[in-house]
Amino acid sequence: MQSDAGADLHAPVLAALNGIRIGRVLTREPTLEDAYIAIVERAEGTEGDQGDKGVREPG
């Protein structure tokens, strides 16, 4: 799960998972890999919004 910086979601998440066995809950700073994945996912999401732009029909 990801959240905005500074958001403390331990209590609400644990409450939502009531009755489910949980080993541990960690809070950590994002890594460079997290940032890369976010950038790639954002770029892939915007590519699909371009429709036919940049596509030429032969002829």
pLDDT tens-digit map of 3-57: 877 888 888 988 998 989 988 888 888 899 999 999 999 999 887 655 545 555 5
The two tokens of residue 45 are 């999401």
Distance CA(40)–CA(36), nearest Å, equals 6
Query: Any idea what DSSP says for residue 59?
Result: -
| Residue 57: predicted pLDDT | 52
Nearest to 10 by CA among 23, 34, 27: 27
At 26 the three-state DSSP class reads coil
pTM: 0.46
